[in-house]
């Protein structure tokens, strides 16, 4: 965590940035706006700091959102990952205490990702890493990504999972931007695969943040757990872990899921010590961030102590160990 971070404000673990040229690169590669979006926000460090001041956010941990940095060319992805990570690190130095970094990885290129892990931790001193739920339809927990998870586990890294479009979005998204419905379900798919594959049981030192209060995962957790137990589902040769117990070891942010409808479900799986504040700015505009803060403050399920822990205490403890 940035060493000069204020202690009297919120710590936002789900905050995005759009480095110079990133959006142009993504649109050129995709020949469309990412994820079916109708428009994309603008982002500037100074404007972000002004928003943070108004909303009582002391520090934001920056990450590149979907669709990430890989658009089909391994070398271009390697270069783009390095560029966005270095930009985030410079931004943090230019605004001491206000920004941290969850570095991007040029997956699905495993070799390049391993190189970037060590560069980002060694040279850039990042707080952790952002990983998309799937890369070209290959989900987190797939054996292909075992070397990456093993290396992150060796470093006891923080991994912030962010959803992206599922590979079959053309058939199931109902013509809507994928963040509306598909993103919460893709988080559920990815985390379920991380558990079922044995990845989380094997990589016990990883500290994973699941966005949007877990997507649909808290609601479906006991259904998945029951079916997995009855069907004896696990990847061959991998250690088997209890599904609910595995979910209880993860952290969950409140971005876009700060209302009591979401919190009630999440709190059946974890207690407030596993919940972190997230705004999703700038993809959620400032007005939406303010509304999320009001919802947290008025929640029937959170005490004053719970709220303080969610707003900053839990993140301070998590990031201080990185």
Task: Kindly report the number of other CB atoms within 10 A of residue 33's CB atom.
Answer: 14
Question: Which pair of tokens denotes residue 145?
Answer: 């990504």
Answer whether residue 4 is part of any domain: no
Answer whether residue 3 is part of any domain: no
Question: Which pair of tokens denotes residue 8?
Answer: 């009297």
Residue keyed to tokens 């709190």: 267
What pLDDT is attached to residue 227? 82
Three-state SS for 103? strand
What pLDDT is attached to residue 228? 74
Residue 169 is classified by DSSP as H
Answer whether residue 278 is part of any domain: yes
Residue keyed to tokens 């410079």: 90
Domain that holds residue 282: 10-320
Answer whether residue 244 is part of any domain: yes
Alpha-carbon dihedral angle through residues 307, 286, 45, 23, given to the nearest 10 degrees = 120
List the chain pLDDT tens, one digit each, 322 residues.
554 444 469 999 999 999 999 999 999 999 999 999 999 999 999 999 999 999 999 999 999 999 999 999 999 999 999 999 999 999 999 999 999 999 999 999 999 999 999 999 999 999 999 999 999 999 999 999 999 999 999 999 999 999 999 999 999 999 999 999 999 999 999 999 999 999 999 999 999 999 999 999 999 999 988 887 777 665 544 445 589 999 999 999 999 999 999 999 999 999 999 999 999 999 999 999 999 999 999 999 999 999 999 999 999 999 986 5
Q: Indicate the burial class of 75 (C-beta count within 10 angstroms; 0-12, 13-18, 19 or more).
A: exposed
Answer whether residue 2 is part of any domain: no
Three-state SS for 128? strand
Task: Kindly report the number of other CB atoms within 10 A of residue 83's CB atom.
Answer: 17
CATH number of residue 236's parent domain: 3.20.20.140
State CA 302 to chain mean position distance.
Answer: 23
Domains identified in the chain, total number: 1
What pLDDT is attached to residue 18? 96
Answer whether residue 66 is part of any domain: yes
What pLDDT is attached to residue 13? 98
What pLDDT is attached to residue 192? 96
What pLDDT is attached to residue 6? 44
Residue 256 backbone dihedrals phi, psi, to 5 degrees: 65, 15
Cα gap 224→218, rounded to integer Å: 10
24 HSE (CA, 13 A, CB side): 3
Cα gap 187→162, rounded to integer Å: 7
Residue 239 is classified by DSSP as P
Answer whether residue 5 is part of any domain: no
Beta strand pairing status for 134-135 and 138-139? antiparallel
Gyration radius from the chain CA atoms: 18
């Amino acid at each position: 965590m940035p060493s000069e971070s204020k202690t009297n404000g919120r710590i936002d673990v789900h905050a995005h940035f759009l480095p110079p040229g990133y959006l142009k690169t993504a649109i050129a590669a995709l020949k469309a706006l990412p994820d079916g979006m109708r428009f994309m926000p603008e982002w500037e460090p100074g404007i972000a700091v002004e928003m943070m001041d108004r909303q009582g956010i002391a520090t934001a941990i920056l990450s590149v959102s979907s669709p990430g940095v890989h658009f089909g060319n391994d070398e271009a992805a390697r270069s783009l990952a390095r560029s966005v990570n270095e930009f985030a690190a410079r931004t943090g130095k230019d605004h001491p205490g206000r920004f941290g970094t969850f570095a991007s990885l040029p997956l699905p290129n495993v070799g390049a990702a391993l190189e970037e892990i060590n560069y980002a931790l060694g040279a850039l001193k990042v707080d952790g890493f952002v990983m998309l739920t799937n890369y070209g339809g290959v989900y987190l927990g797939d054996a292909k990504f075992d070397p990456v998870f093993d290396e992150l586990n060796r470093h006891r890294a923080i991994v912030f999972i962010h959803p992206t479009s599922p590979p079959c979005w053309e058939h199931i998204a109902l013509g809507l931007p994928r963040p509306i419905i598909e993103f919460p379900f893709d988080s559920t798919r990815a985390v379920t695969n991380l558990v079922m594959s044995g990845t989380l049981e094997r990589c016990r030192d990883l500290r994973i943040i699941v966005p949007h209060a877990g997507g649909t995962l808290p609601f479906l957790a006991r259904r998945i757990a029951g079916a997995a137990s009855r069907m004896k589902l696990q990847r061959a040769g991998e250690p088997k872990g209890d599904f609910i117990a595995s979910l209880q070891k993860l952290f969950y942010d409140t971005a876009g899921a700060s209302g009591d409808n979401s919190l009630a479900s999440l709190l059946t799986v974890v207690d407030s010590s596993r919940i972190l504040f997230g705004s999703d700015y700038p993809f959620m505009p400032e007005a939406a961030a303010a509304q999320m803060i009001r919802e947290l403050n008025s929640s029937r399920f959170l005490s004053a102590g719970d709220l303080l822990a969610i707003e900053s205490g839990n993140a301070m403890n998590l990031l201080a160990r990185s």
